[in-house]
Homo-oligomer: A and B are copies of this chain.
Amino acid sequence: MGNMQLFANPRYMNGAATNPDAHAYAHAGAQVKKGLEIAKKLGAENFVFWGGREGYHTLLNTDVRRELDHMGSFFQMVVDYKEKIGFTGQLLIEPKPKEPTKHQYDYDAQTVIAFLKTYGLEDDFKLNIEPNHTTLAGHCYEHDVVVASKFGFLGSIDSNTGSPDLGWDTDQFPMDIKNCTFVMKTVIEQGGLAPGGLNFDCKIRRESTDLEDMFIAHIGAMDSFARGLKNAAKLIEDGTLASLVKERYSSFDQGIGAKAYILEHGEPKLISGKQEKCEAIANYFV
Protein backbone atom coordinates (compact mmCIF):
# COMPACT_ATOMS: atom_id res chain seq x y z
CA MET A 1 0.00 0.00 0.00
CA GLY A 2 2.97 2.29 -0.01
CA ASN A 3 3.00 2.71 -3.80
CA MET A 4 1.52 5.50 -5.83
CA GLN A 5 -1.40 4.16 -7.76
CA LEU A 6 -3.88 5.50 -10.17
CA PHE A 7 -7.35 4.13 -10.02
CA ALA A 8 -9.80 4.60 -12.83
CA ASN A 9 -13.22 3.80 -11.49
CA PRO A 10 -15.56 3.97 -14.45
CA ARG A 11 -19.17 4.24 -13.51
CA TYR A 12 -19.93 4.62 -17.23
CA MET A 13 -23.68 4.29 -17.44
CA ASN A 14 -24.45 2.31 -14.35
CA GLY A 15 -26.47 -0.69 -15.37
CA ALA A 16 -25.84 -0.23 -19.08
CA ALA A 17 -23.91 -3.47 -19.57
CA THR A 18 -27.18 -5.27 -18.81
CA ASN A 19 -29.51 -2.61 -20.20
CA PRO A 20 -32.19 -4.05 -22.48
CA ASP A 21 -31.61 -1.19 -24.91
CA ALA A 22 -28.75 -1.77 -27.34
CA HIS A 23 -28.19 1.97 -27.70
CA ALA A 24 -27.61 2.41 -23.99
CA TYR A 25 -25.30 -0.59 -24.10
CA ALA A 26 -23.37 0.87 -27.03
CA HIS A 27 -23.18 4.24 -25.32
CA ALA A 28 -21.75 2.68 -22.17
CA GLY A 29 -19.29 0.75 -24.30
CA ALA A 30 -18.08 3.97 -25.87
CA GLN A 31 -17.64 5.51 -22.43
CA VAL A 32 -15.55 2.58 -21.24
CA LYS A 33 -13.50 2.62 -24.46
CA LYS A 34 -12.66 6.25 -23.78
CA GLY A 35 -11.97 5.44 -20.15
CA LEU A 36 -9.48 2.71 -21.09
CA GLU A 37 -7.66 5.07 -23.44
CA ILE A 38 -7.36 7.71 -20.74
CA ALA A 39 -6.31 5.12 -18.19
CA LYS A 40 -3.54 3.98 -20.50
CA LYS A 41 -2.42 7.56 -21.09
CA LEU A 42 -2.24 8.29 -17.38
CA GLY A 43 -0.61 5.00 -16.53
CA ALA A 44 -3.43 3.73 -14.32
CA GLU A 45 -2.58 0.55 -12.43
CA ASN A 46 -6.17 -0.39 -11.67
CA PHE A 47 -9.41 -0.07 -13.58
CA VAL A 48 -12.45 -0.81 -11.41
CA PHE A 49 -15.83 -1.68 -12.89
CA TRP A 50 -18.32 -0.52 -10.36
CA GLY A 51 -21.48 -1.45 -12.20
CA GLY A 52 -23.78 -0.39 -9.47
CA ARG A 53 -27.00 -0.99 -11.34
CA GLU A 54 -26.25 -4.13 -13.32
CA GLY A 55 -29.34 -5.93 -12.13
CA TYR A 56 -33.09 -6.11 -12.22
CA HIS A 57 -36.01 -4.46 -10.43
CA THR A 58 -38.52 -7.18 -11.18
CA LEU A 59 -38.09 -10.58 -12.75
CA LEU A 60 -41.37 -9.98 -14.60
CA ASN A 61 -39.78 -7.71 -17.20
CA THR A 62 -36.31 -9.29 -17.20
CA ASP A 63 -34.52 -11.91 -19.26
CA VAL A 64 -31.86 -12.81 -16.71
CA ARG A 65 -29.85 -15.05 -18.99
CA ARG A 66 -29.80 -12.57 -21.83
CA GLU A 67 -28.66 -9.75 -19.55
CA LEU A 68 -25.84 -11.85 -18.14
CA ASP A 69 -24.82 -12.89 -21.64
CA HIS A 70 -24.73 -9.20 -22.62
CA MET A 71 -22.64 -8.41 -19.57
CA GLY A 72 -20.28 -11.25 -20.47
CA SER A 73 -19.87 -9.89 -24.02
CA PHE A 74 -19.36 -6.41 -22.66
CA PHE A 75 -16.44 -7.47 -20.49
CA GLN A 76 -14.99 -9.61 -23.27
CA MET A 77 -14.93 -6.50 -25.45
CA VAL A 78 -13.17 -4.68 -22.62
CA VAL A 79 -10.50 -7.38 -22.46
CA ASP A 80 -10.08 -7.31 -26.24
CA TYR A 81 -9.76 -3.55 -26.38
CA LYS A 82 -7.42 -3.46 -23.41
CA GLU A 83 -5.08 -5.82 -25.27
CA LYS A 84 -5.47 -3.98 -28.52
CA ILE A 85 -4.30 -0.67 -27.06
CA GLY A 86 -1.78 -2.27 -24.74
CA PHE A 87 -3.24 -1.09 -21.46
CA THR A 88 -1.56 -3.08 -18.70
CA GLY A 89 -3.55 -2.09 -15.59
CA GLN A 90 -5.50 -4.63 -13.59
CA LEU A 91 -9.22 -4.88 -14.41
CA LEU A 92 -11.46 -5.28 -11.36
CA ILE A 93 -15.16 -5.81 -10.67
CA GLU A 94 -16.73 -4.53 -7.47
CA PRO A 95 -19.53 -6.75 -6.10
CA LYS A 96 -22.69 -5.25 -4.62
CA PRO A 97 -25.87 -7.24 -4.00
CA LYS A 98 -28.63 -4.67 -4.44
CA GLU A 99 -29.57 -0.99 -4.10
CA PRO A 100 -30.83 0.75 -6.10
CA THR A 101 -31.67 -2.47 -7.95
CA LYS A 102 -33.64 -5.24 -6.29
CA HIS A 103 -30.97 -7.69 -7.35
CA GLN A 104 -27.57 -6.95 -8.79
CA TYR A 105 -25.80 -9.66 -10.76
CA ASP A 106 -22.49 -8.85 -9.05
CA TYR A 107 -24.05 -10.04 -5.75
CA ASP A 108 -20.91 -11.00 -3.82
CA ALA A 109 -17.40 -12.38 -4.33
CA GLN A 110 -18.46 -15.95 -5.07
CA THR A 111 -21.17 -14.83 -7.46
CA VAL A 112 -18.77 -12.66 -9.44
CA ILE A 113 -16.22 -15.47 -9.55
CA ALA A 114 -19.02 -17.67 -10.94
CA PHE A 115 -19.79 -15.06 -13.58
CA LEU A 116 -16.14 -14.74 -14.58
CA LYS A 117 -15.73 -18.51 -14.89
CA THR A 118 -19.00 -18.88 -16.81
CA TYR A 119 -17.89 -16.35 -19.40
CA GLY A 120 -14.22 -17.31 -19.51
CA LEU A 121 -13.04 -14.04 -17.98
CA GLU A 122 -11.38 -15.39 -14.82
CA ASP A 123 -7.82 -14.70 -15.96
CA ASP A 124 -8.49 -11.07 -16.78
CA PHE A 125 -10.34 -9.71 -13.76
CA LYS A 126 -9.83 -9.44 -10.02
CA LEU A 127 -12.24 -8.17 -7.40
CA ASN A 128 -12.43 -4.85 -5.60
CA ILE A 129 -14.20 -5.72 -2.34
CA GLU A 130 -16.20 -3.15 -0.39
CA PRO A 131 -17.06 -4.82 2.93
CA ASN A 132 -20.26 -2.85 3.48
CA HIS A 133 -21.51 -4.43 0.26
CA THR A 134 -20.53 -7.77 1.76
CA THR A 135 -22.71 -7.20 4.81
CA LEU A 136 -25.65 -6.20 2.56
CA ALA A 137 -25.27 -9.61 0.91
CA GLY A 138 -25.81 -11.26 4.30
CA HIS A 139 -22.22 -12.11 5.17
CA CYS A 140 -19.92 -10.86 7.92
CA TYR A 141 -17.74 -7.82 7.24
CA GLU A 142 -14.58 -9.66 6.22
CA HIS A 143 -16.20 -12.60 4.41
CA ASP A 144 -15.74 -11.47 0.81
CA VAL A 145 -12.22 -10.20 1.50
CA VAL A 146 -11.31 -13.67 2.75
CA VAL A 147 -13.13 -15.61 0.02
CA ALA A 148 -11.74 -13.46 -2.80
CA SER A 149 -8.23 -13.74 -1.37
CA LYS A 150 -8.27 -17.49 -0.88
CA PHE A 151 -9.29 -18.02 -4.51
CA GLY A 152 -6.70 -15.56 -5.84
CA PHE A 153 -9.15 -12.83 -6.79
CA LEU A 154 -8.56 -10.13 -4.17
CA GLY A 155 -7.18 -7.17 -6.09
CA SER A 156 -8.18 -4.14 -4.04
CA ILE A 157 -10.41 -3.01 -1.17
CA ASP A 158 -12.84 -0.11 -0.84
CA SER A 159 -12.49 0.09 2.89
CA ASN A 160 -15.88 1.54 3.80
CA THR A 161 -18.21 0.33 6.48
CA GLY A 162 -21.94 0.18 6.80
CA SER A 163 -24.15 -0.17 9.82
CA PRO A 164 -24.93 -3.85 10.39
CA ASP A 165 -28.46 -3.10 11.58
CA LEU A 166 -29.38 -1.28 8.36
CA GLY A 167 -30.34 -2.76 5.00
CA TRP A 168 -28.81 -0.18 2.72
CA ASP A 169 -25.37 1.18 1.98
CA THR A 170 -24.20 4.04 4.20
CA ASP A 171 -20.57 4.20 3.00
CA GLN A 172 -19.34 5.29 6.41
CA PHE A 173 -15.71 5.69 7.38
CA PRO A 174 -14.38 2.45 8.87
CA MET A 175 -14.03 2.89 12.64
CA ASP A 176 -14.26 -0.63 14.00
CA ILE A 177 -10.83 -1.80 15.10
CA LYS A 178 -11.80 -5.48 15.08
CA ASN A 179 -13.09 -5.36 11.51
CA CYS A 180 -9.97 -3.50 10.40
CA THR A 181 -7.81 -6.13 12.11
CA PHE A 182 -9.48 -9.02 10.30
CA VAL A 183 -9.21 -7.30 6.91
CA MET A 184 -5.52 -6.53 7.41
CA LYS A 185 -4.89 -10.11 8.57
CA THR A 186 -6.05 -11.32 5.16
CA VAL A 187 -4.03 -8.67 3.33
CA ILE A 188 -0.86 -9.69 5.17
CA GLU A 189 -1.55 -13.38 4.61
CA GLN A 190 -1.79 -12.90 0.86
CA GLY A 191 1.40 -10.81 0.83
CA GLY A 192 -0.07 -7.36 0.24
CA LEU A 193 -2.51 -5.85 -2.21
CA ALA A 194 -0.35 -4.22 -4.91
CA PRO A 195 -1.16 -2.85 -7.41
CA GLY A 196 -4.46 -2.40 -5.52
CA GLY A 197 -4.81 -0.75 -2.16
CA LEU A 198 -7.15 0.43 0.53
CA ASN A 199 -9.43 3.05 -0.95
CA PHE A 200 -11.75 5.25 1.13
CA ASP A 201 -14.88 5.45 -1.01
CA CYS A 202 -16.65 6.86 2.06
CA LYS A 203 -18.61 9.95 2.79
CA ILE A 204 -19.14 11.69 6.07
CA ARG A 205 -22.62 11.42 7.50
CA ARG A 206 -25.18 13.93 6.31
CA GLU A 207 -25.25 15.50 9.79
CA SER A 208 -21.47 16.05 9.79
CA THR A 209 -21.54 19.54 8.38
CA ASP A 210 -18.27 21.08 9.58
CA LEU A 211 -15.27 21.25 7.29
CA GLU A 212 -13.09 19.64 9.95
CA ASP A 213 -15.35 16.57 9.93
CA MET A 214 -13.80 15.63 6.56
CA PHE A 215 -10.36 15.59 8.15
CA ILE A 216 -11.41 13.91 11.39
CA ALA A 217 -13.16 11.16 9.44
CA HIS A 218 -10.16 10.41 7.25
CA ILE A 219 -7.75 10.53 10.18
CA GLY A 220 -9.96 8.38 12.37
CA ALA A 221 -10.37 5.80 9.63
CA MET A 222 -6.68 5.71 8.77
CA ASP A 223 -5.88 5.32 12.46
CA SER A 224 -8.36 2.44 12.64
CA PHE A 225 -6.65 0.61 9.78
CA ALA A 226 -3.24 1.43 11.21
CA ARG A 227 -4.27 -0.14 14.51
CA GLY A 228 -5.81 -3.01 12.55
CA LEU A 229 -2.52 -3.55 10.68
CA LYS A 230 -0.51 -3.54 13.91
CA ASN A 231 -2.98 -5.88 15.59
CA ALA A 232 -2.97 -8.23 12.62
CA ALA A 233 0.82 -8.26 12.46
CA LYS A 234 1.03 -9.17 16.16
CA LEU A 235 -1.70 -11.79 15.80
CA ILE A 236 0.19 -13.42 12.94
CA GLU A 237 3.61 -13.15 14.62
CA ASP A 238 2.21 -14.69 17.77
CA GLY A 239 1.06 -17.67 15.73
CA THR A 240 -1.32 -19.16 18.33
CA LEU A 241 -4.42 -18.73 16.20
CA ALA A 242 -2.74 -20.03 13.05
CA SER A 243 -1.49 -23.10 14.94
CA LEU A 244 -4.95 -23.78 16.23
CA VAL A 245 -6.37 -23.63 12.71
CA LYS A 246 -3.58 -25.76 11.28
CA GLU A 247 -4.04 -28.34 14.03
CA ARG A 248 -7.77 -28.44 13.29
CA TYR A 249 -7.16 -29.75 9.78
CA SER A 250 -4.10 -31.84 10.62
CA SER A 251 -5.80 -35.20 10.22
CA PHE A 252 -6.01 -34.45 6.51
CA ASP A 253 -2.24 -34.09 6.35
CA GLN A 254 -1.75 -37.71 7.33
CA GLY A 255 -2.70 -39.40 4.12
CA ILE A 256 -6.22 -40.32 5.11
CA GLY A 257 -7.91 -37.44 3.34
CA ALA A 258 -7.32 -38.54 -0.20
CA LYS A 259 -8.55 -42.06 0.36
CA ALA A 260 -11.19 -41.01 2.82
CA TYR A 261 -14.42 -42.14 1.39
CA ILE A 262 -13.65 -45.78 1.05
CA LEU A 263 -12.95 -46.02 4.76
CA GLU A 264 -15.20 -46.41 7.69
CA HIS A 265 -14.10 -46.29 11.30
CA GLY A 266 -17.32 -46.12 13.29
CA GLU A 267 -18.59 -42.80 14.60
CA PRO A 268 -15.79 -40.27 14.43
CA LYS A 269 -15.02 -38.61 17.73
CA LEU A 270 -15.88 -34.96 18.25
CA ILE A 271 -13.12 -32.43 17.78
CA SER A 272 -13.92 -29.05 19.29
CA GLY A 273 -14.11 -26.03 16.97
CA LYS A 274 -12.95 -23.89 19.92
CA GLN A 275 -14.68 -20.76 18.64
CA GLU A 276 -14.63 -19.03 22.01
CA LYS A 277 -10.90 -19.71 22.39
CA CYS A 278 -10.27 -18.23 18.94
CA GLU A 279 -12.36 -15.20 19.85
CA ALA A 280 -10.50 -14.73 23.13
CA ILE A 281 -7.15 -15.06 21.35
CA ALA A 282 -8.22 -12.49 18.78
CA ASN A 283 -9.37 -10.16 21.55
CA TYR A 284 -5.91 -10.32 23.03
CA PHE A 285 -4.60 -8.52 19.98
CA VAL A 286 -7.48 -6.08 19.42
Which of B22, B60, B65 is A241 in contact with, Cβ under 8 Å? B60
**C-alpha gap A102/B63 in the complex (Å):** 32
| Residue numbers in B under 8 Å from A26 (CB-CB) | 256, 259-265, 268
Interface residues on A, range: 35 or more
- Quick one: which of A3-50 are within 8 Å of B by CB? 20-30, 32-33
Query: How many chain copies?
Result: 4
Which of B32, B177, B282 is A261 in contact with, Cβ under 8 Å? B32
B261 in contact with A30 (CB, 8 Å)? yes
A257: interface (CB < 8 Å): yes
A199: interface (CB < 8 Å): no
A149-174 interface code vs B (CB 8 A; 1 in, 0 out): 01100000000000111111000010
B22 in contact with A256 (CB, 8 Å)? yes
**C-alpha gap A234/B223 in the complex (Å):** 20
- The distance from the CB of A103 to the nearest CB of chain B, in whole angstroms, is 6
Q: List 23 A-B contacts (CB under 8 A).
A: A21-B251, A21-B271, A26-B265, A27-B264, A27-B267, A29-B261, A33-B262, A57-B207, A57-B273, A57-B275, A58-B275, A59-B140, A61-B248, A61-B273, A99-B166, A102-B163, A102-B165, A107-B110, A110-B110, A118-B151, A209-B273, A213-B274, A219-B280
